Structure 1
Amino acid sequence: MTAPPVLVGCSHGTDSVEGRAVIRSILAAVADARPDLVVREAFVDVQEPAVADVVASAAELGLTAVVVPLLLSVGFHVRVDIAAAVEDRPATAAPPLGPDARLVDVLVDRLTQVGLAPGDTVVLAAAGSTDPAAAVAVEEVAAGLAARLGRPVTVGYGAGSTPRVPDAVAAARAESAGRVVIASYLLAPGYFHDRVLEAGADLVSAPLAPDDRIVAIVLDRYEAAAALLRGSAAGRTPRAG
């Protein structure tokens, strides 16, 4: 029986010890949920091993690989770094984790945990990217969150797009007499979440992970991409006779 593709969970990488532990916990939970899979960790920046090296190592062992971006939206790292890592190799890349309705569910829970009240104004804080598709994906999540909360949700970005999070918080405060609450649309603690904590909001929700729903999204992204990879391999197999 052909071994299933290696699941390569690829995150940005961080200097935050807590952030590293959270990302590692996601992949540990994935491995626990699917003991039949080989699960490997990879990065596009800051940490090692690089995603291209992990995919190459799998190929050297005669294994296929599916890279699941542990990222919430498209952007340079998905379109360039991860795409280059799987190019011309027996591998493919899954879409990023967002947008997904389950991420909205997690955001609602995180806001509830931090004490969101009916009169509060909500700002969704995302890392940001210069890729316009990333902003579209974040706006989709913001719209889903607004529908769930029954109130407007504005967006602020840490980098790449505007408005920046402090500006979005300031605008929300100017328009409302109530508290301003940031919904942290970040996967784990680290540089961007530290900047969100400094953005001037009254309350800031915790990052999304760890959460079993994140694990479920990772596995769903993997399964869909693995099915396409198997179909592609079957299409290259010569017919008998």
Structure 2
Amino acid sequence: MNSPILIACAHGTSSKLGAAEVNALRDGIAALRPGLDVREAYVDVQDPDLPAVVAGLPAGETAVVVPLLLSVGYHVKVDIARAVKSRPDTLAAAPLGPDPRLAALLDQRLREAGVTDNDAVILAAAGSSDPSASGNVEELAGQLRSLRSNRIVAAYGASAKPSVPEAVAMLREEAAGGAGAGDSAGGVDLGGRVVIASYLLAPGFFHDQLAKAGADLVTAPLLPSPVLASIALERYDAALAAAGQPLA
């Protein structure tokens, strides 16, 4: 008996480097589980689009859509949910984040960039109008705070507040002793830099915007890292277990 099909569903990007990183992630998932049928799909920008991939699945075979996304939001709750509902034997897994391993990976990116305890850190996510997405990012920020003593605030590229440039301006004001300084700073010395921790999978439009937000430093995205492939497979296994489906 074959394992259920895994549809690795990413957002999609016009960045060639970003697309290559996501393709490598998909290859990494397949390498961790030899023989597993791992298929490509996107909710925006790129083809093949998810509804077409789901419609083309073999009749009677179980499939699991694993969102290569970092939080719950419109794409998970609407695009992926609609595609899953369109076909029997199709399941939706949880997105990759939040997860303590992603916080550890962000900590690694900050260390690689030479961030010190005196630097203020902005956890920069893509953003969504869905409050669940912001809640996921705040949860990840809490996980990162457990690893670092920095002043850490969450901010967004679109659709949620504060925006990343607004967060940069706020932290600059705190460092200068203006409004918002004091208790909100948690007693951390803000005499260092303002650093943006890119909570994005790969290079692309949103990551490019971070360089324009006025921070002193922007870390690299999460990819490449083998931890993302491991999390994706765990989400796949968990979705099957919740549905009472065998892995093979």
1:67 equivalent in structure 2: 65
2:188 equivalent in structure 1: none
Gaps of 5+ in 1: 233-241
Matches within 5 A, 1:208-219: 208-219=222-233
Question: How far apart in 2 are the matches of 1:179 and 1:86?
Answer: 45
Question: How far apart in 1 are the matches of 2:241 and 2:51?
Answer: 21
Instruction: Check the 8 A contact 2:25/2:224 in 1, yes or no.
Output: yes
Instruction: Check the 8 A contact 1:128/1:159 in 2, yes or no.
Output: yes
Matches within 5 A, 1:153-232: 153-176=152-175, 177-231=191-245
Paired letter, 2:215: A
Relative to the length of structure 2, the TM-score reads: 0.90
Instruction: Check the 8 A contact 1:128/1:135 in 2, yes or no.
Output: yes
Question: How far apart in 2 are the matches of 1:147 and 1:162?
Answer: 23
Shift of 1:227: 2.2
Number of equivalences? 230
Shift of 1:156: 1.1
Question: How far apart in 2 are the matches of 1:50 and 1:193?
Answer: 23
Alpha-carbon RMSD across the aligned residues, in angstroms, is 1.3
Gaps of 5+ in 2: 176-190
Matches within 5 A, 1:115-134: 115-134=114-133
Question: How far apart in 1 are the matches of 2:168 and 2:132?
Answer: 23
Secondary structure, counterpart of 2:57 in structure 1: helix
Paired letter, 1:162: K
Name the structure with the higher helix share: 1
Question: How far apart in 1 are the matches of 2:38 and 2:123?
Answer: 31
Secondary structure, counterpart of 2:236 in structure 1: helix
Shift of 1:222: 0.6
Question: How far apart in 2 are the matches of 1:37 and 1:230?
Answer: 19
Shift of 1:230: 4.2
Shift of 1:151: 2.7
1:239 equivalent in structure 2: none
> CA 1:231–1:64 in 2, change beyond 3 Å: closer, same or farther?
closer
Instruction: Check the 8 A contact 2:125/2:200 in 1, yes or no.
Output: yes
Identity across the alignment (%): 52
Instruction: Check the 8 A contact 1:158/1:165 in 2, yes or no.
Output: yes
Instruction: Check the 8 A contact 2:98/2:136 in 1, yes or no.
Output: yes
Paired letter, 1:12: H
